[in-house]
Structure 1
Amino acid sequence: MTSTSTSGTAPTTGTAAAVEVEQVTRRYGRGDQAVTALGPVDLRIDTGEFLVLVGASGCGKSTLLRLIAGFEEPSTGRVTVAGAAPEPGRGAGLVFQQPRLLPWRTVGSNVDLALRYAGLAASERVARRDALLHRVGLDGIAHRRIWEISGGQQQRVAIARALAVDSQLLLLDEPFAALDALTRERLQEDLRQVSAETHRTSVFVTHSVDEAVFLGSRVIVLSKRPGQIALDLPVDLPRTGATPDEIRALPAYATARSTVAHAVRAAAA
């Protein structure tokens, strides 16, 4: 495992920055009633990183994700995605805690809709849709209605839909929080594999230390409000060629988990 940093700025790897957050704060309300929820935060996310934001409730994890997505604007500072201001709903694939699928559409047509918005020609959509569903382990159910499949399968559809977006950035806000433990573990494994295959830059929000260390190539711990970077930890674990059990059995996994857990407790104190 590589060295621990609390500066909030990743070591420069020579790759282009996918996301840059510069002296960002986010306040809600006005005057004496104003509350600073986040910041100041400085953060660079390199292309291809899988960055996980973890911390106690109310520390600003989802706020930071919404700023990167362009759904909110900083009170001070600047956020850029691929060198430009983020475009709401366009600059990234998005997966939320609830799948937010269209229940009157089939599994396949939910993904088709995302492909249409991404500008893919109608003649190419079926093959691309089937490839995306295969990638998330949903072969053969494109014809089924959303209400006919399980919650875990619905979240897989949401991930497939997010991957349909013509963007190298994937943003995930506690996508597995409402699922049972077994389904959650399976989807963690699937997402880790998809990340390794696609090399998309990903930002993932969670409360779970285990999830953070298993998924992330880098873990950021945020302090209690106003959320600031309490720990910036590169995680040096194999992204391919090892089973989940083998990864979790590595000494580096145990060390990273202990480091992150300690930081989360200290930051919330």
Structure 2
Amino acid sequence: MSSRSDVIALQSVSHRYGSGRNAVTAVGPVDLTVEPGSFVVLVGASGCGKSTLLRLLAGFESPTQGSVEIGGAPPTPGVSAGVVFQQPRLFPWRTVGGNVELALTYAKVPRERRAERREQLLDRVGLSGMAHRRIWEISGGQQQRVAIARALAAETPLFLLDEPFAALDALTRERLQEDVRAVSAESGRTTVFVTHSADEAAFLGSRIIVLSRRPGQVALDIPVDLPRSGVDPDELRRSPEYGRLRAEVGRAVKAAAA
């Protein structure tokens, strides 16, 4: 699905909130190029501008200075990227399947194909047979799976996730990390994932960008040489390579926040 035309390019990007004496520069300047199919993790301390960068990539905000381009054009909200937030933000009056079908409608999937596509997406995130369940009948982890399926409904080149597992228990978080890692590998979709966790960054990323304290700038850019498929997740987490990477990221985050 990805091609060279899906390259993400940030050039001299800065973003400020407010004006005059109350202006706060949240991020920048940042120069960054992301190749198609990459799984990039933005990691740093709270308040360093990670979520601001994600909103710029989604097209929800425009940079105060510089340019953000996906495939040579500024991002268009709802078109350039599927987005998963910290909270699922589902419609409680719709069923699990209804939430996904609404996303398929907005994605202009033909009516006759929506039911089949809905089941494919729910199966991909481990929710087969749950299309008719109500949102309040499923767990927080399952709700976040629905949010992921909804974000995957549109065939966008980019998948953005803003600390989507922060509110979940440790076991559910690990399972969803494994699911997102697998979904990204299967779809080939470029993924940018925001977290403050060195563990999460080391497990998920094919590339890890450590941001400095506000205004967020690239403090460290780490390529990851861990296998993306064909390895048991628990074995990966126990491997010396993973341990060294996690420690390197943790040290970098602390240094960047100092």
TM-score for the superposition, normalised by structure 1: 0.93
CA contact (8 A) 2:15 2:25 kept: yes
Shift of 1:112: 0.5
Q: Which residue of 2 aligns with 1:121?
A: 110
Alignment of 1:62-77 (within 5 A): 62-77=51-66
Shift of 1:250: 2.4
Match of 2:44 among 42, 45, 55: 55
* Paired residue secondary structure (2:92): coil
Match of 2:122 among 122, 133, 151: 133
Match of 2:26 among 15, 26, 37: 37
State the distance in 1 between where 2:84 and 2:226 align. Answer: 24
Shift of 1:255: 1.8
Query: 2:16 aligned with 1:27, yes or no?
Result: yes
Q: Which residue of 1 aligns with 2:196?
A: 207
Match of 2:140 among 127, 147, 151: 151
CA contact (8 A) 1:26 1:38 kept: yes
CA contact (8 A) 1:17 1:44 kept: no
State the distance in 1 between where 2:227 and 2:85 align. Answer: 26
The runs of 5 or more residues in structure 1 that have no matched partner are 1-13
CA RMSD of aligned residues (A): 1.1
Q: Which residue of 1 aligns with 2:237?
A: 248
Counterpart AA for 1:57: S
State the distance in 1 between where 2:248 and 2:56 align. Answer: 27
* Paired residue secondary structure (1:233): strand
Shift of 1:82: 1.7
Q: Which residue of 2 aligns with 1:84?
A: 73
Cα deviation, 1:135-170, whole Å, max 9, x if unaligned, reads 000011100111110000000000000000120210
CA contact (8 A) 1:16 1:46 kept: no
The runs of 5 or more residues in structure 2 that have no matched partner are none
State the distance in 2 between where 1:184 and 1:240 align. Answer: 19
Runs of 4+ displaced beyond 6 Å: none
TM-score for the superposition, normalised by structure 2: 0.97
* Paired residue secondary structure (1:165): coil
* Paired residue secondary structure (1:140): coil
Structure 1 residues 83 and 171 mapped into 2: Cα distance closer, same or farther (>3 Å)? same
Q: How many residues align?
A: 256
Query: 2:211 aligned with 1:222, yes or no?
Result: yes
Q: Which residue of 1 aligns with 2:254?
A: 265
Shift of 1:246: 1.5
Structure 1 residues 16 and 253 mapped into 2: Cα distance closer, same or farther (>3 Å)? farther
CA contact (8 A) 2:4 2:71 kept: no
Match of 1:164 among 153, 159, 174: 153
Shift of 1:181: 0.6
Shift of 1:249: 2.4
Match of 2:82 among 76, 93, 96: 93
State the distance in 2 between where 1:223 and 1:17 align. Answer: 27
Query: 2:166 aligned with 1:190, yes or no?
Result: no
